[in-house]
Chains A and B, each alone.
Chain A
Amino acid sequence: MTRTDVQLMLDVKSGDEESFAILLQKYRSPMVNFLYRMVRDAAAAEDLAQEVFLRVYRARKQYSPSAKFTTWLFRIATNLALNSIRDNRHRQMDLSIDAPVEDDEVRLELPAREMRIDEFMVERDRTTLIRRAIAALPEKQRAAVLLHKYEEMDYGEIARILDCSESALKSLLFRAYETLRVQLAPLMSQPVAHSPGERRPS
C-alpha cells in the first residue's frame, strides 16, 4: 500500500530515515525546477533545494499534519527563494543605489520589450525568452504562476503557500498572465514545437 506524503512525514518524525529518502526522491526534481524558475540559477536552485530538504528534516520532530505536505514543502521553498532573490538584489544595489525597488517593478537587467523580443527572435531561442519573461515578473506573481502552471496546485494551496486569500491570488494570477500575454505575444503567433517528452496543454 502506498503511503501518503503526510504518513511518510509522520514516519520520518518517528525516526524512519527511509521515509525521508522516499520524500526526497519524490520531490527533489519538482523542487529543483521550481527553485530554478524562481532564481534562474541552476547551482543556486540546487543549493536552495538542499536547504529545503534539510529544513524539512530539522523540523521533523515538530511536524504536525495541519496542511498538505506539499503546501508546507513549497512554503519553505518559496520563502527561501524570495529571501535569496532579495539578498541578490541587495548585492546588486550598487548598480543603481538610488533606484527604488518595488515588487511590481520590472527587473533592471531586462531591456525594453521591443528590444528584447527583437534580440531573442534573432537568437531563435523561445525557451530563453519565456524563461526571462517569467523571471521578469514580480516575485510573488512569479511564484504564483510557477505553482499554478508547473506544479498544478489548486488555488487554496497556492494561497496558503503565499499567505494570501484566494481572491487575492486570482487577481495576482490574472495580472501575471496578462503581463506574460503581452510580453510573449510574438511567440503565440508562431507554431508551438513540442518535444516528445513534454506535457501538452489540456
Chain B
Amino acid sequence: MKCADVSKNLIAYLDRRTNSADRGEIEAHLTVCPACWTRAEEFRRLWAVMEEVPGIEPSFAFDAKVRQRIAAEPRPRWFRWFVPQPRIAFSMALLAGLSIWMVKMPPNDLNSAGKGQDFEAIKDLGVLENYDVLTKFDVLDELPTGGDVQVQKPQPEDQGSEKGGGS
C-alpha cells in the first residue's frame, strides 16, 4: 500500500472501521513509513485535543420555547376537509373557465357552411336513393346512339290546332 492509499483510509483505520485486510496493510505501511506514522500519531493527538472543547447546555427555557412555537402553529380546522387543495382548486377553476368560454363562443362560418351543404345533400336525397334504378335503367340502352337519333316532327293535329289556336 502506498502513502496515498494509506491517507485515504487513515481516518477509518484510526476509527477502527477498516476490515482486517486493510488494517494489516496499513499497519505494515506505518511500520516502514515515518511520515505516515507521524501523521497517524498527530491525528490521534488532534482528536484528544478536540475533546477538550466543552459543550454548551441548552437554556432552561429551551423546551418551553419549542412548545410555544409548536402551540403557535396553525391547527387543522374541522372544515378544512371541505376546503380544496390549491392545485385542485386551480384545476377546477381552469376547467370551469374553459367550459364557459366554449359555451359562449359564437358559431363560426365553417359550421354554417357545413349546414348549407348538409341541406343540399338532403334535398338530393331522392336522387341518391334511386341511384341503383338510374344505373340499371335498361331503357336507356335501347335508345339509338349518335346521329341516328331522329327528331319526331309534330303531328298534323298539332299543326291544325296550332293554326286554329293561332288564328
Contact = CB atoms under 8 A, between A and B. Distances in A.
Contact of A58 (B12, B45, B73): B73
B102 interface: no
A57 B73 CA distance: 10
A25 B65 CA distance: 13
Interface string B91-122: 00000000000000000000000000000000
A180 to B, nearest CB: 6
Given A49-B62, A181-B39, A188-B46, A200 B51 contact: yes
B36 interface: no
Interface stretch (B52-60, B81-89, B125-133, B159-167): B52-60
Nearest to B10: A174
A54 interface: yes
Nearest to A200: B51
B73 to A, nearest CB: 7
B12 A131 contact: no
A112 B39 CA distance: 23
B52 A170 contact: no
Interface in B1-58: 7-12, 17, 39, 42-58
B48 A201 contact: yes
A181 B58 contact: no
A24 B65 CA distance: 12
Given A33-B55, A170-B9, A130 B49 contact: yes
A190 B98 CA distance: 79
B50 A149 contact: yes
Contacts of A49: 58, 62
A199 interface: yes
Tier of interface size on chain B: 20 to 34
A195 interface: yes
A53 B62 CA distance: 11
A126 to B, nearest CB: 6
A80 to B, nearest CB: 14
B69 interface: yes
Contacts of A57: 70, 73
B157 interface: no
A161 interface: no
A195 B69 contact: no
Contact of B62 (A28, A180, A181, A192): A28
Contacts of A54: 66, 69-70, 73
Interface in A1-49: 21, 24-25, 28-29, 32-33, 36-37, 42, 45-46, 49
A148 B47 CA distance: 11
Interface of A: 21, 24-25, 28-29, 32-33, 36-37, 42, 45-46, 49-50, 53-54, 57-58, 126-127, 130-131, 134, 148-150, 154-155, 170-171, 173-174, 177, 180-181, 184-185, 187-188, 192-195, 198-201
Interface of B: 7-12, 17, 39, 42-59, 62-63, 65-66, 69-70, 73
23 contacts: A28-B62, A29-B55, A29-B58, A32-B62, A33-B56, A36-B55, A49-B58, A49-B62, A50-B62, A50-B69, A57-B73, A58-B73, A127-B54, A130-B50, A130-B52, A154-B17, A181-B43, A181-B46, A184-B49, A187-B49, A199-B51, A201-B44, A201-B47
Given A154-B17, A200-B48, 5 more contacts: A28-B62, A32-B58, A33-B55, A181-B39, A187-B49
